[in-house]
Amino acid sequence: MLIFVSNWVRVYTADNPPEAVFIRGLLEAEGIPVRLKSMELWAAAVEIYFAEGARPSVWVPERARWEAERVLAQRDRSGTGTVWTCRCGERLDGQFTVCWRCGAARPADD
């Protein structure tokens, strides 16, 4: 069981571990410390995850909360709705920054 210091706050609850890792990457890119909770349940046993109904959550220090929420808000605005096409021809949802087919990074569009 993970112990969190009292001033960490949850800013995001993911549907699955890859999404949680993705969010962590977004926040860490902004210099925000991040902790993920409930990931260990997935690592241990998926059935536990389902049994307990826990979803991986993303936590940041309280002092970084507003910055984190700003980053997440930007993601919501520019993210999931924007489909992009990789150089290999694969079409990907906006939430993906790397092509799952060939591994190429998403072209910068901002």
Q: In this structure, are residues 24 and 36 in contact, taking their beta carbons and an 8 Å threshold?
A: yes
Min dist CB 102 to Zn ion, Å, is 3
71/86 with CB nearer Zn ion = 86
Q: How far is CA 30 from the centre of its chain?
A: 13
53 sits in the region (left: phi over 0; alpha: psi -120 to 50; else beta) called left
3-state secondary structure of 23: helix
34/99 with CB nearer Zn ion = 99
Min dist CB 108 to Zn ion, Å, is 15
Min dist CB 104 to Zn ion, Å, is 5
Look at the chain and count its residues.
110
Residues in the site for Zn ion, rule: CB under 5 A? Answer: 86, 88, 90, 99, 101-102, 104
44/102 with CB nearer Zn ion = 102
